[in-house]
């Protein structure tokens, strides 16, 4: 059942308009459709096929006359006239039995939908593909107080509501919500003076958690007008919070649906990190209105067309709202943790994949985050002015269309006069390029010699050189910048760039701003790293130099049994003491490379990572950090307390991040005294959770953990944190047992993806615990993936990715992971989602 990009053919009919009526009922919702089809002059097909899954067909008519289509589990075929015709069908579905959370389902008594990518076919028979676009008119009948659909409201009365969406859209953007919801209303006036009604709809009791999301929405609307010239295009914009949701959120036209964890926020219940993420996701979904909805994808292989671009846009937004370097550093940490791991293992795939079995398995870090990096490289290469010129052309030319990466690149070629044929390899070649650098110095000329190579990935043994934008600056021996940031454009496998007329040999600052998503391989020493950490004018590379020092020090501890490096500790002390530096930047500098990052690096150097040892050495380093600078930590902790009422803004959040980073080290020295005091006095979740984490890290949180539960037991999102923290902070030998005990807790509910991820996401993201030599982590995760698969294939399949690194490890661990993967693969009636993931991970 593999689908290929190369097989694309347009649908044989166009859809002129769609009318839907829903008569809601938990176990027997009736959906009637009336759809105007016409033969598509550009896509003749022999047989009329409509997707449809898990539908009970009650009746079907063509031009008013009953027909008897041939029905299979995937859809129906039917003889149709060779002229425009009206299709009518009535189907029955059972939203209360839908635990896959795809199509129309129920969450806490409320009806909601998730149609991307292919969920609409579980609602009614339809050509469920993104290149079929139509206007929709929707009538909802039911007793629920609130009944919402896409577009503008046209009519409502006792027991019904009608909506009309004038913008043609593919079915994946369809949405319906009905329930006894309450709203947080507001409004926005667009720059051309149009009043837009805004609402965030939530369950009663959550009204006080909407204000922040609403502000984020208004900021996003304004930002898209100012930066991209994009205005909103309906009279109303609704956001709904739903507790049971597979992903973060969904950009349905005029009716965004959010996982409640990605929209509900209050100082008491949300951390600074939650606030920042909510702001970014609200922006992301809003920005999709132009990059995704007005211009959509021709087919699902083009997913990065909307996702890469929209992630790039939301990152620009966050950088503008908060700190640009801090956002960039955070994104690179995330890219290396998730996308590099994917790109360097069995799940590697191009930003635009060429085949799939289940498209839901391709909502990946590669499509999203590497897809955004590709846009970032394009922008660097063409420059800001040309970038926005190309975007204007893209919107002007393709508004209302379902497009491809070819369309996107053609716009850039036309607007900028560049040939992007080589650049296009970023979309087709999987794998992370390695960029090797050496330098020579002679007669005032400093030359950088680059060599790029990309390792083989599944299905792609050979790789061609890619276009690499490499931003470089040179720092003179006295610490002054002698060459400002310069963009080198590498196109060959090997290429050198010379800088002439220099008085003394400079220190190069390479790949500033992480200008290309590559692994930089360069022989350097700690003196040079410390020099850059002190003098680089590029904040990203300044951070990177510090991270390089930390990584070297840890690698020597892990691989060679060295003691914690005093040069690193000294350099960190200097950096942390510099009060001119953003506290958020210093907090980032204090964080060590993750266990997984270290495992990845060891594997890259042909060593077998031992997760337990990595964990121990990181702990040892953190102890050493605490002992090396207790006075400084104490000072940072006190100096960065934020007085007054909690504000989620970047400024105070940065101070809290630094103070709490200091607190977590101080906790190793004071037995938790300060953390306990902070826990007791905290009036916001950031401070409370930071303190609780500190106490958990020294296994001294018993009382606080119980008190936390008692206090927050009615708050689902806070209790998710309670579940996940216990797993995250368990000692490696106890991680699996902790998770196993938590699933016995009455509040554990495997049907709720947030709760399932709270426990099992935390398990798979605790490398030493998950990979514990007993194999208990592997077995427990496999047990629960097998239980979840029949209910929710999407979430199960995503979480299988925990096993993707299996080939990095020693023979015993490999064998144990393989056994579990094979056990999952052998399950009767395993979903297509999970079976595709398991077989890709196993490599068969």
What 3-state class would DSSP assign to 41? Answer: coil
By C-beta, is 315 or 588 nearer to ligand ARG? 315
Indicate which of Zn ion, ligand ARG, none lies near residue 183 (CB less than 5 to 8 Å, by partner kind): none
Among 196, 250, 264, 824, binds ligand ARG (CB under 6 A): 250
Residue 117 engages ligand ARG in binding (rule: CB under 6 A):
yes
Measured in degrees and rounded to the nearest 5, phi and psi for residue 635 equal: -65, -45
Among 98, 238, 246, 541, binds ligand ARG (CB under 6 A): 246
By C-beta, is 282 or 816 nearer to ligand ARG? 282
Catalytic residue among 88, 279, 285, 836: 285
Q: How far apart are CA 203 and CA 717, in angstroms?
A: 13
By C-beta, is 307 or 565 nearer to Zn ion? 307
Please list, in sequence order, all residues whose beta carbon lies within 8 angstroms of the beta carbon of residue 201, skipping any fewer than 6 positions away.
146, 148, 177, 181, 182, 183, 238, 239, 240, 241
Q: Which stretch binds Zn ion (CB under 5 A): 82-90, 142-150, 233-241, 302-310?
A: 302-310
Q: Beta partners for 56?
A: 92
Residue 249 engages ligand ARG in binding (rule: CB under 6 A):
yes
Q: Beta partners for 113?
A: 104
CB 103 to ligand ARG: min, Å: 11
Please list, in sequence order, all residues whose beta carbon lies within 8 angstroms of the beta carbon of residue 578, skipping any fewer than 6 positions away.
586
CB 313 to Zn ion: min, Å: 10
Indicate which of ligand ARG, Zn ion, none lies near residue 266 (CB less than 5 to 8 Å, by partner kind): none
Residue 220 engages ligand ARG in binding (rule: CB under 6 A):
no
CB 364 to ligand ARG: min, Å: 10
Indicate which of Zn ion, ligand ARG, none lies near residue 721 (CB less than 5 to 8 Å, by partner kind): none
CB of 201 within 8 A of CB of 239?
yes
CB 734 to Zn ion: min, Å: 37
Residue 244 engages ligand ARG in binding (rule: CB under 6 A):
no
Indicate which of Zn ion, ligand ARG, none lies near residue 247 (CB less than 5 to 8 Å, by partner kind): ligand ARG
Q: Which stretch binds Zn ion (CB under 5 A): 213-221, 305-313, 755-763, 823-831?
A: 305-313
- Tell me the site size for ligand ARG, rule CB under 6 A: 13
What is the rounded radius of gyration, in angstroms, for the C-alpha atoms of the chain? 27
197 labelled catalytic? no
By C-beta, is 601 or 794 nearer to ligand ARG? 794
By C-beta, is 309 or 435 nearer to Zn ion? 309
Q: How many CA atoms lie within 13 A of 209 on its CB side?
A: 26
By C-beta, is 116 or 141 nearer to Zn ion? 116
CB 237 to ligand ARG: min, Å: 15
Q: Which residue is nearest to ligand ARG (CB)?
A: 363
Q: How far apart are CA 363 and CA 375, in angstroms?
A: 17
Q: What one-character-per-residue DSSP string does 794-843 give? A: HHHHHHHGGGTTGGGS-HHHHHHHHHHHHHHHTSTT--HHHHHHHHHHHT
Q: How far apart are CA 241 and CA 621, in angstroms?
A: 42
Q: Which stretch binds ligand ARG (CB under 6 A): 88-96, 241-249, 401-409, 476-484?
A: 241-249
CB 101 to Zn ion: min, Å: 17
Q: Which stretch binds ligand ARG (CB under 6 A): 76-84, 244-252, 575-583, 601-609?
A: 244-252
Please list, in sequence order, all residues whose beta carbon lies within 8 angstroms of the beta carbon of residue 110, skipping any fewer than 6 positions away.
144, 177, 178, 179, 180, 181, 203, 242
Residue 471 engages ligand ARG in binding (rule: CB under 6 A):
no
Q: Which helix (H) or strand (E) is 65 found in, with range?
A: strand 65-66
By C-beta, is 274 or 684 nearer to ligand ARG? 274
| Contact set for ligand ARG, span 257-286 (CB under 6 A) | 284-285
CB 171 to ligand ARG: min, Å: 14
Indicate which of ligand ARG, Zn ion, none lies near residue 360 (CB less than 5 to 8 Å, by partner kind): ligand ARG
Indicate which of Zn ion, ligand ARG, none lies near residue 250 (CB less than 5 to 8 Å, by partner kind): ligand ARG
Tokens read off for 313: 């846009």
Q: Which helix (H) or strand (E) is 111 found in, with range?
A: strand 110-114
By C-beta, is 172 or 784 nearer to Zn ion? 172
By C-beta, is 313 or 618 nearer to ligand ARG? 313
CB 241 to ligand ARG: min, Å: 15
| Contact set for ligand ARG, span 326-385 (CB under 6 A) | 360, 363
CB 359 to ligand ARG: min, Å: 7
CB of 298 within 8 A of CB of 131?
yes
* Cis omega (within 30 of 0) for bond into 117: yes
Q: Which stretch binds ligand ARG (CB under 6 A): 248-256, 257-265, 501-509, 548-556?
A: 248-256
Please list, in sequence order, all residues whose beta carbon lies within 8 angstroms of the beta carbon of residue 338, skipping any fewer than 6 positions away.
365, 369
Q: How far apart are CA 248 and CA 258, in angstroms?
A: 6
- Residues for the chain: how many in total? 844
Q: How far is CA 364 from the centre of its chain?
A: 8
Q: Which stretch binds ligand ARG (CB under 6 A): 208-216, 245-253, 516-524, 605-613?
A: 245-253
Residue 247 engages ligand ARG in binding (rule: CB under 6 A):
yes
Please list, in sequence order, all residues whose beta carbon lies within 8 angstroms of the beta carbon of residue 241, skipping any fewer than 6 positions away.
200, 201, 202, 203, 206, 258, 259, 260, 263, 264
Please list, in sequence order, all residues whose beta carbon lies within 8 angstroms of the beta carbon of residue 844, skipping any fewer than 6 positions away.
none
CB of 833 within 8 A of CB of 795?
no
Q: How far apart are CA 344 and CA 159, in angstroms?
A: 54
Q: Which stretch binds Zn ion (CB under 5 A): 143-151, 300-308, 326-334, 531-539?
A: 300-308
Q: What one-character-per-residue DSSP string does 131-176 give? A: T--EEEEEEEESS-SEEEESSEEEEEETTEEEEEEEEEE-GGG--E
Task: Order the strands of the 195-202 sheet from edge to edge.
Answer: 182-189, 195-202, 236-242, 255-259, 249-250
CB 133 to ligand ARG: min, Å: 17
CB 281 to Zn ion: min, Å: 9
Identify which of 361, 338, 334, 364 has the alpha carbon closest to the alpha carbon of residue 351.
Answer: 364
Q: Which stretch binds Zn ion (CB under 5 A): 95-103, 304-312, 444-452, 618-626?
A: 304-312
| Contact set for ligand ARG, span 294-313 (CB under 6 A) | 307
CB 128 to ligand ARG: min, Å: 13
Indicate which of Zn ion, ligand ARG, none lies near residue 552 (CB less than 5 to 8 Å, by partner kind): none
Tokens read off for 431: 């794998």
By C-beta, is 371 or 564 nearer to Zn ion? 371
CB of 367 within 8 A of CB of 335?
no
| Contact set for ligand ARG, span 771-830 (CB under 6 A) | 794
By C-beta, is 283 or 662 nearer to ligand ARG? 283
CB of 740 within 8 A of CB of 267?
no
| Contact set for Zn ion, span 308-347 (CB under 5 A) | 310
By C-beta, is 116 or 342 nearer to ligand ARG? 116
CA distances from 448 to 274, 416, 494 (A): 42, 28, 11
By C-beta, is 284 or 463 nearer to ligand ARG? 284
CB 250 to ligand ARG: min, Å: 5
Tokens read off for 19: 């009318």
- Torsion, Cα 588 589 594 599, to 10 degrees, reads 150
Residue 251 engages ligand ARG in binding (rule: CB under 6 A):
yes
Binding site for Zn ion (CB under 5 A): 307, 310
Binding site for ligand ARG (CB under 6 A): 116-117, 246-247, 249-251, 284-285, 307, 360, 363, 794
Q: Which residues are catalytic?
A: 285
């Amino acid at each position: 059942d593999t689908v290929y990009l190369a097989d694309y053919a347009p649908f044989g009919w166009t859809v002129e308009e769609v009318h839907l009526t829903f008569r809601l009922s938990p176990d027997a919702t009736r959906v009637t459709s009336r759809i105007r089809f016409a033969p598509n002059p550009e896509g003749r097909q022999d047989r009329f096929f409509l997707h449809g899954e898990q539908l009970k067909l009650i009746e079907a008519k063509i031009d008013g006359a009953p027909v008897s289509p041939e029905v299979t589990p995937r859809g129906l075929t039917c003889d149709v006239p060779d002229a425009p015709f009206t299709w009518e069908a009535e189907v029955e579905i059972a939203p209360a039995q839908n635990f896959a959370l795809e199509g129309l389902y129920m969450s806490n008594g409320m009806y909601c939908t998730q149609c991307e990518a292919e969920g609409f076919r579980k609602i009614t028979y339809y050509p469920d593909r993104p290149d079929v676009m139509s206007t929709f008119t929707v009538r909802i009948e039911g007793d629920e107080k609130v009944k919402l659909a896409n577009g503008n409201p046209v009519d409502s009365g006792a027991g019904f509501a009608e909506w009309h969406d004038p913008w043609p859209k593919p079915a994946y953007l369809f949405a319906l919500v009905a329930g006894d919801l309450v709203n947080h209303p507001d409004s926005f006036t667009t720059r051309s003076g149009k009043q837009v009604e805004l609402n965030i709809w939530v369950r009663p009791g959550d009204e006080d958690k909407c204000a922040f999301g609403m502000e984020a929405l208004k900021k996003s609307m304004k930002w898209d007008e100012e930066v991209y010239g994009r205005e909103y295009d309906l009279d109303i914009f609704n956001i709904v919070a739903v507790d049971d949701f597979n992903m973060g959120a969904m950009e349905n036209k005029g009716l965004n649906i959010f996982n409640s964890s990605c929209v509900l926020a209050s100082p008491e219940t949300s951390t600074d990190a939650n606030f920042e993420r909510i702001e970014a996701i609200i922006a992301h979904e809003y920005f999709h209105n132009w990059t995704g909805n007005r211009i959509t994808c021709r087919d699902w292989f083009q997913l990065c067309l909307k996702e890469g671009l929209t992630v790039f846009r939301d990152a620009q937004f966050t950088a503008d709202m908060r700190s640009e370097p801090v956002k960039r550093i955070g994104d690179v940490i995330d890219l290396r943790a998730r996308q590099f791991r994917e790109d360097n293992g069995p799940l590697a795939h191009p930003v635009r994949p060429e085949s799939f079995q289940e498209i839901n398995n391709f909502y990946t870090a590669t499509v999203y985050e590497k897809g955004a990096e590709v846009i970032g490289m394009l922008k660097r290469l063409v420059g800001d002015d040309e970038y926005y010129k190309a975007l204007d052309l893209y919107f002007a030319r393709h508004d209302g269309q379902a497009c491809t990466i070819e369309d996107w690149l053609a716009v850039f070629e036309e607007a900028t006069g560049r040939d992007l044929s080589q650049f296009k390899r970023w979309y087709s070649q999987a794998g992370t390029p390695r960029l090797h650098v050496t330098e020579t110095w002679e007669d005032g000329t400093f030359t950088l010699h680059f060599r790029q190579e990309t390792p083989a990935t599944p299905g792609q043994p050979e790789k061609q050189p890619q276009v690499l934008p490499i931003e470089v600056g040179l720092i003179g021996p006295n610490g002054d910048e002698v060459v400002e940031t310069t963009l080198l454009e590498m196109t060959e496998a090997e290429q050198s760039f010379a800088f002439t007329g220099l008085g003394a040999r400079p220190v190069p600052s390479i790949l500033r701003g992480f200008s290309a998503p590559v692994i930089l391989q360069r022989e350097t020493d700690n003196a040079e790293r410390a020099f850059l950490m002190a003098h680089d004018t590029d904040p990203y590379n300044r951070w990177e130099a510090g991270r390089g020092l930390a990584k070297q020090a840890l690698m020597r501890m892990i691989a060679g049994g060295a003691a914690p490096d005093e040069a690193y500790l000294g350099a960190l002390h200097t950096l942390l003491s510099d009060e001119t530096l953003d506290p958020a930047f210093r907090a980032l500098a204090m964080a060590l490379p993750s266990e997984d990052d270290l495992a990845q690096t060891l594997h890259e150097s042909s060593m077998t990572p031992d997760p337990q040892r990595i964990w121990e050495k990181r702990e040892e380093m953190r102890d050493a950090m605490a002992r090396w600078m207790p006075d400084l930590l104490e000072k940072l902790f006190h100096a960065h307390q934020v007085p007054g009422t909690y504000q989620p803004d970047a400024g105070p959040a940065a101070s809290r991040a630094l103070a709490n980073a200091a607190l977590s080290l101080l906790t190793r020295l004071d037995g938790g005294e300060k953390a306990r005091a902070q826990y007791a006095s905290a009036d916001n979740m950031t401070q409370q959770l930071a303190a609780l984490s500190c106490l958990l890290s020294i296994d001294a949180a018993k009382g606080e953990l119980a008190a936390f539960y008692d206090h927050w037991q009615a708050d689902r999102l806070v209790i998710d944190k309670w579940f996940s923290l216990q797993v995250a902070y368990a000692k490696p030998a106890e991680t699996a047992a902790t998770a196993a005990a938590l699933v016995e807790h009455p509040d554990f509910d495997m049907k709720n993806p947030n709760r399932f991820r709270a426990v099992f996401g935390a398990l798979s993201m605790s490398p030493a615990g998950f990979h514990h030599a007993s194999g208990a982590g592997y077995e427990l995760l496999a047990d629960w993936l097998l239980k979840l698969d029949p209910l929710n294939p999407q979430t199960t399949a995503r979480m299988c990715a925990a096993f993707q690194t299996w080939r990095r490890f020693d023979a015993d661990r490999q064998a144990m992971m393989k056994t579990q993967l094979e056990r999952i693969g052998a399950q009767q009636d395993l979903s297509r989602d999970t079976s595709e993931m398991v077989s890709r991970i196993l490599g068969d």
